[in-house]
Amino acid sequence: MRHLGKIALLVAVLGLCGAALILFGAQLGLWLPVTGFGLYRNYFNTLAMVIAVVGVIALLIHVLRKERGGMLAGAIATIVGLALLAPMAASTLNPAPRAAPIHDISTDTTNPPLFEVLDDTREGASNTLDYGGPELAEAQAQAYPDIAPLETDLPADAAFERALEVAQDMGWEIVASDTERLRFEAVARTSVFYFADDVVLVVTAQDGGSRVDMRSVSRVGRSDQGVNAARIRDFQQRFAG
């Protein structure tokens, strides 16, 4: 019993390492993002509960035995476990609105930008890059009515350079860039699980400036949980800023 606090602290440290691997293992090249997401759904909360329970038991026992060192170790383990459980608690108490079951978002749903370099052979992809047509356009209009082309006073060449700069600042991997046709394709990854989404951007000259259209498509999953729309909004805000 004397060393229960140390054991709880060790469990917390090992559990934190396991949680970090689940969240960022794909970024370290250990597995595909979908594998990490599966581990999260199946084991993350269980891991957090084990840490919290072991911490609480150690804390209570050391409180009864009036052993301050063990009490501190147990308290730390308990806090770690509860912190890891926080996302589950937050989603239970305040569930997020259900995202639309779409994963392909475009600023132009009539003539969406087409991918020419990235194709269906890209790593880990189960979703196609073929646009879903009027049905998808209608679903996007209902779910994300604010998504629209970016109108700018910049000449087309300057707008394209600005778009490349913003994309690189956002950490996108530029796969192909055509300065004559003012278009590029890129891969954007989520910070957690490292999911890859594919982006194509096209700049069109028009009177008094230019228009920037883009499309962002998730490689896996029926719903993107709003990530692609959020990416487009973020890009447009950074571009304007």
193: left (phi over 0), alpha (psi -120 to 50) or beta: left
CA distances from 183 to 7, 75, 117, 165, 238 (A): 57, 55, 11, 13, 18
What band does 174 get if pLDDT is binned at 50, 70 and 90? Answer: very high
Mean pLDDT value of segment 3-26: 94
Mean pLDDT value of segment 187-192: 94
User: Would you kindly state where each structural domain of the chain is located, as residue ranges?
Assistant: 4-93, 104-240
Give the bridge partners for 29, in sequence order.
Answer: none
Q: Supply the mean pLDDT for the chain.
A: 94
CB within 8 Å of 54: residues ≥ 6 apart: 7, 8, 11, 12, 77, 81
- Kindly report the pTM of this predicted structure: 0.85
Q: How many C-beta neighbours within 10 Å does residue 188 have?
A: 20
pLDDT in tens, 46-105: 999 999 999 999 999 999 988 998 999 999 999 999 999 999 888 888 877 778 899 999
Domain 104-240: give its CATH code: 3.30.530.50
pLDDT in tens, 55-68: 999 999 999 988 99
Question: Tell me, what's the pLDDT at 112?
Answer: 97
pLDDT in tens, 103-145: 999 999 999 999 999 998 999 899 999 999 999 999 999 999 9
Cα separation, 52 vs 48, whole angstroms? 6
Residue 151's H or E segment, with its range, is strand 150-152
φ, ψ (nearest 5 deg) of residue 233: -60, -45
Question: Tell me, what's the pLDDT at 209?
Answer: 96
